[in-house]
Structure 1
């Protein structure tokens, strides 16, 4: 049962910040201290994640239990005051989180979400989980063999690049469209071009 008065509830709601919360700051400082560099609330990334690692396309969100509906099925009837309003608001937040996850995944991002209380109680564990993903994404490489001719002799050149670097694939293909190197990028370049066109002109 909601034991707070309307005035107390109003003050509590005003105290809730959408960005720069204590758990977010704790996580950010811990990752920074462990040598990781990121951007906070990057507006150029869909959903404006709390932390972004743009080169490896990793987005991290720290979600408040109240606003993002933790254990919502069990707790949706906890609000005895203005229940219809709060249920509608929180359910919309849950839907939006899902939409953000799906859109980021479509754009090739890896998304991690943590509950605020988990950050506060298991900070090191959460940080290590993020580090594992960071290392995996950095090691997520693919190999291509390029045939180059120098002085009448043909050489095989091993090319290693990040899987998620779509822009690099397109650029490399366009810059080498008159030599044999481009054939190794053609399939991916066409695929990524279609993705861009479908996103901009659905």
Structure 2
């Protein structure tokens, strides 16, 4: 006969709980939630396209709920338009002038050549001449001050199309430059009577 331990044939350690049929409960199987969408992964739009894209309005059928959602989107768009208009109005004048100046510089091109205005045809066209070439019939850009243009004045011309892109400010009056003497006269000081000394008569 084998010898058994007191209290039955099971070897138990101190602190072990007695087996109880109530501790074993059947766990219910919970299926996983279905995916939100099926198919390829949708790419996130970046840049201005994503910012300007309107949200999808549901339901698609014509009803009061769809009308309220569309009116809310309209209110947001009106608020955005007002915000942009206020930002443009409150924009510093110096920054705006700097942008206009840069645009004018882009239209003028670089480098610019210097020429002379020979004749004004109309408000948008003129005949100009350069120091190294013949006369040209060219256009006058809209940002040029046409009130200061007059025959004989120095102008700035585009380096390729030779259009008038500016006025070269000069301290010399163009009428004076027209009357200046380019060739030495044949008369001498002795031939001019008002240069004679009145005391000697010479």
TM-score range normalised by the length of the shorter chain: under 0.3
When the two structures are superposed, what TM-score results if normalisation uses the length of structure 2? 0.24
| More contact order relative to length (CA 8 Å, sep ≥ 6) | 1
